[in-house]
């Protein structure tokens, strides 16, 4: 099907005309059954990392392009490895933001790659909505995974986080989850909130300074705290966020030290949460800013498991989206 005949399935560009998940742009608007299917499929991929041959033939013959307009280590390398473990061919393109202009040139880049008969794009871009733009442009002709667009969404990170919570903390329907730190600039936090809500998380809290936690979040059914001790009380899972120093306008924070002093996760403060509460962090960490090394490397930290889960999650997402390409 050409891009011109693309139609929205149920008004959401993530779905094709048959209602199948064709692109993953945001956790917002995902249906619970798709979310559960993604989590269950990731579970099946997890064990493959422990076999002698860490590959399946699932995407043999397909080509996936990693198109990154922003720096990334974990996300880019796990997407690359995920595609390779599915036997796809991978093209990595890192575009420096300074040399690329927006809008039309992104579409031009994608059109040129499409002329090489590629099957999918994993896109990271500093502009919110970049992945939507490309998905709408491509329609059914190739899959698009949003690997982070501006401050809008980072769905695979949120999915691997809820996957980690479900595996290591138990059913999400009875866990209290707190997201701590720079929520304002965080595409991860937004995607986490949507994913957790869809999966029936009974209480989602966001904790951070007034300048970094928008009050409007309470409209999403989230409980907003500006005091770490009050916010952590009884919490089963703590999702720390990276303080986005590169996005930080100076007036939002007096200093990084001040942030650590009030909101940094230290071993003492971890005691305020429920016993054995899990600590997640999407990486890269600013040790001594949002998290103390003793916590990051401590017994309650599942940060490295998140990375392993991220690989399985990205294999699951690519498989499900590529699967929707088949059939009529």
Partner 1 sequence: MTTDWDVTALLAGMARDLRPLIDPEQAAMIGIFTGGVWLARTLHAALGLQQPLGQVDISFYRDDFSQIGLHPQVRASDIPFDVDGRDIILVDDVLYTGRTVRAAMNEIFDYGRPARIRLAVLVDRGGHELPVAADVAALRLNATAGAHIKLRGPEPLRLELEQRRLQP
Under the binding rule (CB under 8 A), the answer on residue 152 touching partner 1 is no
Instruction: Judge whether 284 is annotated as a binding position.
Output: yes
**Alpha-carbon separation of residue 63 from 30, 38, 303, 319 (angstroms):** 25, 21, 30, 13
On the question of a cis peptide bond just before residue 284, with omega within 30 degrees of 0, the verdict is: yes
Instruction: Judge whether 187 is annotated as a binding position.
Output: yes
Q: Cβ 64 to partner 1, closest distance in Å? A: 14
Q: What mask of x and - would describe binding to partner 1 in positions 170 to 209, judged by CB under 8 A? A: ----------------------------------------
User: Do 165 and 175 touch, CB atoms closer than 8 A?
Assistant: yes
Site for partner 1 in 78-107 (CB under 8 A): 86
Under the binding rule (CB under 8 A), the answer on residue 11 touching partner 1 is no
What kind and span of H or E run contains 39?
Answer: helix 32-46
Nearest C-alpha neighbor of 41 from the set 278, 238, 326, 324: 324
Q: Cβ 143 to partner 1, closest distance in Å? A: 12
Under the binding rule (CB under 8 A), the answer on residue 43 touching partner 1 is yes
With CB under 8 A as the contact rule, the residue among 7, 10, 32, 44 that binds partner 1 is: 44
Instruction: Judge whether 54 is annotated as a binding position.
Output: no
Nearest C-alpha neighbor of 235 from the set 206, 205, 262, 273: 273
CA distance linking residue 326 with residue 328, whole number of Å: 7
268 CA to centre of own chain: 29
Output the known binding site for L-aspartate.
102, 187, 242
Q: Which residues here bind partner 1, judged by CB under 8 A?
A: 20, 37, 40-41, 43-47, 51-53, 55-58, 61, 86, 319-320, 322-327
Output the known binding site for carbamoyl phosphate.
74-75, 124, 154, 157, 283-284
């Amino acid at each position: 099907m050409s891009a011109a005949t693309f139609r929205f399935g149920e008004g959401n560009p993530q779905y094709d005309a048959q209602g199948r998940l064709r692109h993953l742009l945001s956790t917002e608007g995902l249906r619970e059954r798709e979310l559960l299917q993604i989590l269950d499929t990731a579970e099946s991929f997890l064990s493959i990392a422990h076999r002698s041959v860490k590959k399946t033939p699932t995407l043999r013959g397909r080509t996936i392009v990693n198109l990154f307009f922003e720096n990334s280590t974990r996300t880019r390398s796990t997407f690359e490895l995920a595609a390779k473990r599915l036997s796809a061919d991978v093209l990595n393109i890192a575009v420096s933001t300074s040399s690329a202009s927006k809008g039309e040139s992104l579409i031009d880049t994608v059109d040129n790659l499409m002329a090489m008969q590629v099957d999918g794009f994993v896109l990271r871009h500093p502009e919110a909505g970049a992945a939507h733009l490309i998905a709408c442009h491509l329609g059914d002709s190739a899959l698009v995974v949003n690997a982070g667009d501006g401050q809008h969404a980072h769905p695979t990170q949120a999915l691997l986080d809820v996957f980690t919570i479900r595996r290591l903390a138990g059913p999400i329907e009875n866990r209290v989850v707190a997201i701590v730190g720079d929520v304002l600039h965080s595409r991860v936090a937004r995607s986490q909130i949507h994913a957790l809500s869809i999966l029936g998380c009974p209480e989602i809290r966001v904790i951070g300074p007034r300048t970094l936690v928008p009050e409007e979040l309470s409209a999403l059914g989230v409980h907003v705290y500006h005091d770490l001790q009050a916010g952590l009380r009884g919490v089963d899972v703590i999702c720390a966020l990276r303080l986005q120093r590169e996005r930080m306008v100076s007036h939002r924070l007096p200093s990084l030290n001040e942030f650590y002093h009030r909101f940094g996760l230290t071993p003492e403060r971890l005691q305020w949460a429920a016993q054995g509460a899990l600590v997640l962090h999407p990486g890269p960490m600013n040790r001594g800013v949002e998290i103390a090394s003793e916590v990051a490397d401590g017994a309650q930290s599942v940060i490295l498991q998140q990375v392993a889960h991220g690989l399985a999650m990205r294999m699951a997402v690519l498989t499900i989206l590529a699967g929707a390409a088949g059939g009529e």
